[in-house]
Structure 1
Amino acid sequence: MTSADAAFLSGLELSRILYEEAVRPLLDDAFPGLRHAAARVGTGSEVLGFDTARSADHEWGPRLQLFLAPDEVARYGAPLHRLLAERLPKHVRGWPTHFRRPDDPLDPVGQMELTDGPVDHRVSVQDVGGWLTSATGTDPASGDPTVLDWLAMPQQRLAEVTGGAVFHDGLGTLTTARRRLAWYPDQVWRHLLACQWQRISREEAFVGRCAEVGDELGSMVVAGRLVRDLMRLCLLLERRYAPYGKWLGSAFGQLDVAGSLLPSLRSALAATEYPERERGLCAAYETVAALQNESGLAEPVDPACRSYHGRPFQVLHAERFARALSATVTDPGLRGRQLTGGVDQWADSTDFLNLTEPARAATRALGQRQGTGPLPKA
C-alpha cells in the first residue's frame, strides 16, 4: 500500500505512530538511554487540528521533532539523522517517510514519495531552548516570560507551540515550557482584551460613514474588518489563541458562542445595503458585550448599541468596554500603557510576524508611548 490508496488519518496520529513504532525502537537500539523529547509541534495544519486529506499534498506526513539537551545536539544530531535515513521504514500506514525535495525554488514544499534508497525524512533534532527562542523570541523553559515577551509573541506562534502533541518528554523542559505558555497571565489577558475592544471602537462608526458618502464597498470592507476583530475578541474571551487567517473561522466555529453569533456575523458580511449591515453588526456587538459582562472580568457595561455622537450611525462605543477592563489592570508594566496591545493587534503582515526579533524590537519601542489618545472622527 502507498499514499495513493492509504487511508487518511490525522497528522498527529501519524506522527505518534512514526515515533512509537519506528523512531523510538531505533533510538533504544542504537542510543539506549538517550534522554529526549518527541513531539509534533510548530507549523502545520495538523498541529492546530485542522488537517484534512488535502493537507497531504505538501509538507504533511510522518513528521516528528526530537529534542535533546543542548550539549547533546551537536554530538548526536548528525548520527541520528543518518540512522533514521538508513533504517526508517519506507512508509508508515502507507504514507511514505521520504520527502522529495522541490525543484522549483518558488514552490519550496516537500511531498511524500516512495524511494528505494535512504529516506529524506522529516525528523528534526533540536534543543528545546533553541527551538522555543526561534519560534517565540524567548525561552519559557528557563523561566516565566516577561510582559514584553507576551506582547511580542503572535498568537499564531503561541498556538503552534502549545498545540500539537508531545509523545515523550524525558527532558521535562518541553512540557514545562508548554505549560507556561498555555495561556496569558491574568493581567496580560485583561490588557489584551481591552486593546481588542479599543480596535473595534476605532472603526465601528466608519461602516455608516462610508455608506453615507456612497462608498458601499468601503463600508463592506470595514464591516469585514470588524467581524474579524469580533471573532478574535471571542477567542480571547474563551481563552483560545487565535490562529492566522486560514484557520480563524475554523477555530472560531469551535467556540461556545459561535452558534449564537454566526447568524449576525454572516448577515453583516452578506448585506449589500448599509441598514442590514448595521443591524448584523449591532446584534453581534451586543452578543459579545454580554459575553464580557458575564465573564466577571470588569464592571458590567450597558451592552446596548447607541448613536455615534449624534450622528445617524448605531455603534456600541466599544471604548467603554476597553476602559472597564483597563481599570482592572494593576501590573506596573501594563498600567497606563497605550492600548495597542500585542504585536498581532497592531500588525498583520505575515512576513513581519514571522520575524521574531524585529517584532520584539517594535513592541518595545511602541511601549514607550503612554496614553490612549483621542478617538478619531468618523
Structure 2
Amino acid sequence: MPDERPPFLPGVELSRVLYEECVAPLLAGTPHAAARVGAGSEVLGLDTERSTDHDWGPRLQLFLPEGFEPEALERLRGRIAAALPRRLRGWPTRYTPAPGDPGVWRLTDAPEGRHLVEVVHFGDWFVEWLGFDPRAGVTTADWLATPTQRLAGFVGGAVFSDGTGELIGAREALAWYPSDVWRYVLACQWQRIAQEEAFAGRCTEVGDDLGERVVTARLVRDLMRLCLLLARHYPPYSKWLGSAFARLPEAAGVAPVLRRALVSSDPQRELAEAYRLVAQWQNRTGLAEALTPEPRPFHSRPYPVLDAGRFTEALLARVEDPELVGRPPVGAVDQYLDGTDALENVTLARKVSSAVDRLRPG
C-alpha cells in the first residue's frame, strides 16, 4: 500500500463508486449484474482501517449471462483495465500479489498492477463459491453441504445493479434455510451442547483448570453459533463470530453471562444461566414444543445443566422433510467439520456431507 493513507471508506461503498463511476459507463445495453459479494470482511460489514492491508479496496464481481463467449469477457476485462483511473477516492484501483503470500492481493500504484473486477458468467462463479448453481433450485443436500461462511458471503455485501434478476433471485433463494432445514440445524447445534454441557463442572471438581477453560470456551462458541442460527444469521468463521454475535439484540442479555463463564471459578453455573436464556429464545420461535428452560442436576451429579438433548428431540420431532428424517443428528457441514482448508474447498465439503448422509439407517 502506498505511504499516503486516504480517509477510510467501507469497502462495499468504495466498490459501489467503482461500479457507478468507472464500470457502468462501459456497459450500456449489456445485460449484467454487478455486486461485491463473496470473500472479505467488507462483505460482512466488518471491515476497518486494518482491513486495507490485503484483499480490500475497489473491487467487484461483474456477472454476465452464459451466452457471452470467453473472448467477449476477455475484451471487457481489457476495456475496464484501460478505463480505470489510477486512484478512486484516494485509493489505488489496482493490485499486486503479496510477496510470499499466495492468493493475497495488495493495493498498488505500480503500472504493472491489475484490477480486481471479476468478469464472470453467473453459473461459473456460483459453482466456484457455493459448489452448486442456485438458479437450478436448492436441494436439502445443497443446504447441508454449504458452509455457513459461504452462505453469509453470498447473501451479504451489496448488489449494485442486476438488470437480469439472476443474482438477486439467487440471493433471495439462499436468504435463509427452509423451515425443516432450520429445525434440523438447530437440533444439531443443541446436540453439540448436550454432549459437553456437564463437562466444565466435572473439570472443576477434579481441579483441572485448563481443561475447564477449554470446555467452557467450546460451549460458549457453540452457544454463540446457536444464537446466530436462532436469529436467522449464517455464522461466519471464527475471526468474525464474536463481532456478528455482538450485533444481535439478544446479545445484550446473553453476552455478559458468557463472558462471566469464561473467567468464573465456577463456569458451570454461568453456563447454565446462558442455556436458560437461549432455551427461552428457542421456545419463542415456535419451531418446536416449548420446554422448560430451567437448569437441573446432571443425573445424580450436582452440575446444573439444561439437558439440551430435549431440545434436539423436540425440534427433530417437527421435521417432515424425508431427506432429513432419520439423518444422523450431526447437522450442516460446518457443525462437524472444523478445518479451514476443508471448509474453504466447497467440492470437498460437499463430498464429506454426502458421505455423512449415507449413514442414515437403511
User: Which range, TM-score by smaller chain?
Assistant: over 0.9
Q: Is the 8 A contact 2:95 2:114 kept in 1?
A: yes
Match of 2:191 among 172, 188, 198: 198
Q: Which amino acid aligns with 2:125?
A: W
Deviation per CA, 1:245-289: give whole Å up to 9, x if none.
Answer: 011011101112100011110000112x2x2x1121011000001
Contact 1:39–1:65 (CA under 8 A) maintained in structure 2: yes
Aligned to 1:120: 114
1:85 touches 1:118 (CA, 8 Å); kept in 2?
no
Where does residue 40 of structure 2 map in the other structure?
44
**What TM-score, normalized to structure 2?**
0.96
Of 347, 367, 376, which aligns to 2:357? 367
What pairs up with 1:317-356 in 2 under 5 angstroms?
317-356=307-346
Task: State yes or no: 1:309 paired with 2:289.
Answer: no
- Name the residue aligned to 1:374: none
Cα-Cα RMSD? 1.4
Q: How does 1:70-219 map to 2 (within 5 A)?
A: 70-104=66-100, 106=101, 108-115=103-110, 117=111, 119-143=113-137, 145-219=138-212
- How many angstroms does 1:35 deviate by? 1.1
Identity of aligned residues (%): 52
Q: Distance between the aligned counterparts of 1:310 and 1:224, measured in 2?
A: 25
Q: Does 1:21 align with 2:21?
A: yes
- Contact preservation (8 Å) 1:195, 1:339: yes
In structure 1, the residue matched to 2:277 is 287
Cα shift at 1:107: 5.5
Task: State the 1:128 CA deviation.
Answer: 1.2
1:57 to 53, 56, 77: 53
Do 2:146 and 2:333's aligned partners in 1 also have CA atoms closer than 8 Å?
yes
Q: What is the CA–CA distance in structure 1 between the aligned matches of 2:24 and 2:112, rounded to whole Å?
A: 18
The Cα shift of 1:3 comes to: 7.4
Task: Give the deviation of 1:132 after TM superposition.
Answer: 1.0
Structure 1 length-normalised TM: 0.92
What is the rounded CA distance, in whole Å, between the counterparts of 1:109 and 1:366 in structure 2? 33
Q: CA deviation at 1:180?
A: 0.3
Letter in 2 for 1:139: D
Uncovered stretches (5+) of structure 1, i.e. residues with no partner: 372-378
**Structure 1 residue 118, shift from structure 2 partner:** 6.2
Question: Does the aligned pair in 1 maintain the 2:15–2:36 contact within 8 Å?
Answer: yes
Tell me the number of residue pairs that the alignment of Structure 1 and Structure 2 aligns.
360
For 1:118 and 1:278, locate their aligned partners in 2 and report how far apart those are by CA, in whole Å.
58
2:198·2:268 contact (CA, 8 Å) conserved in 1? no
User: 1:365 Cα shift?
Assistant: 1.4
Report the Cα distance in structure 2 between the residues aligned to 1:333 and 1:108, rounded to whole angstroms: 37
Offset, 1:146: 0.8
Which residue number corresponds to residue 34 of structure 1? 30
Cα distance in structure 1, aligned partners of 2:284 and 2:5: 50
Give secondary structure in 1 for the equivalent of 2:136. coil
User: Given the superposition, is the C-alpha separation of residues 331 and 3 from structure 1 closer, same or farther in structure 2, using an over 3 Å criterion?
Assistant: farther
Tell me how far 1:108 sits from its aligned partner: 4.3
Q: Could you tell me which residue of structure 1 aligns to residue 244 of structure 2?
A: 251
Alignment check: 8 A CA contact 2:96 2:113 kept: no
Compute the displacement of 1:296 (Å).
1.3
The answer to whether the 8 Å contact 1:282/1:316 transfers is: yes
